[in-house]
């Protein structure tokens, strides 16, 4: 006798999420991969498939190294307690410091990023306006922004063409599903 269960698990970075119903989920990543995940509590979903349905439970994970954002002047940063956590460093000094990342790695050996806050203010302002306008963008434009943010490079023409074809197939499949 075969038993079929109605459960969908989709891979996805960031936080675990339910999609509509309890049995359709994004798993979420088990580690923090970007700044917007700093305050997330990571874990995994334990799924029990039973004859009477599906039981899920979130199991929290505590990583060996957390991901944190630290900020301050270079003298403040260098006087912080040493840590093996992954850190993204935002320095408020107006003048650039020679070999800043080398100095930071003396205190934070797993530092991932070093930026001056004067450099990121324009980025924050443009990001804020981008997120408000995202609803007016096509699927391709949204993906292009995501790709640019993740890879720091633009799609080439063949990638753009392939994505347009894939989005068209997805729209057609969605139309077929909704019309039945």
The pLDDT value given to residue 134: 44
User: Does the model's pTM come out above 0.75?
Assistant: no
Q: How far apart are CA 13 and CA 27, in angstroms?
A: 8
**Contacts (Cβ under 8 Å, ≥6 apart) of 58:** 16, 43, 44, 45, 46
- Residue ranges covered by each domain of the chain: 8-60, 67-121, 137-179
The pLDDT value given to residue 129: 47
Question: 90, 115 in Cβ contact below 8 A?
Answer: yes
Q: Residue 112 has which token pair?
A: 């991932």
Measured over the CA atoms of residue 159, residue 164, residue 170 and residue 176, the dihedral's sign is: negative
The chain-wide mean pLDDT, for the chain, equals 79
Residue 55's SS3 state is: strand
Question: 71, 117 in Cβ contact below 8 A?
Answer: yes
Q: C-alpha dihedral over 166, 171, 172, 177, to 10 degrees? A: 130
Question: Could you tell me what percent of the chain has a pLDDT over 70?
Answer: 77
Q: How far apart are CA 27 and CA 116, in angstroms?
A: 34
The pLDDT value given to residue 106: 97
13-16 contacts at long range (C-beta below 8 A, 24 or more positions apart) = 14/40, 15/40, 16/43, 16/44, 16/45, 16/58
Lowest model confidence (mean pLDDT) among 24-28, 84-88, 101-105 = 24-28
Q: Residue 19 has which token pair?
A: 């999609």
The pLDDT value given to residue 1: 45
Instruction: Please state the rounded mean pLDDT for residues 31-46.
Output: 84
The pLDDT tens digits of the residues spanning 95-139 come to 989 999 999 999 999 999 999 988 665 544 555 444 444 445 677
């Amino acid at each position: 006798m075969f038993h079929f269960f109605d459960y969908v698990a989709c891979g996805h970075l960031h936080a675990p999420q339910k999609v509509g119903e309890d049995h359709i989920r994004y798993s979420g990543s088990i580690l923090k991969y970007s700044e917007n995940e700093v305050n997330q509590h990571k874990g995994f979903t334990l799924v029990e498939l039973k004859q009477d349905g599906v039981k899920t439970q979130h199991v929290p994970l505590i990583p060996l190294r957390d991901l944190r954002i630290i900020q301050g002047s270079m003298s403040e940063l260098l006087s912080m307690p040493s840590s093996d956590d992954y850190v993204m460093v935002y320095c408020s000094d107006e003048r650039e410091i020679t070999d800043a990342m080398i100095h930071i790695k003396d205190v934070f050996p797993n530092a991932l990023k070093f930026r001056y806050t004067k450099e990121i203010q324009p980025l924050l302002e443009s990001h804020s306006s981008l997120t408000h306008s995202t609803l007016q963008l096509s699927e391709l434009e949204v993906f292009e922004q995501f790709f640019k943010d993740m890879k720091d490079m633009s799609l080439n023409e063949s990638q753009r063409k392939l994505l347009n074809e894939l989005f068209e197939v997805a729209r057609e499949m969605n139309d077929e599903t909704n019309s039945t």
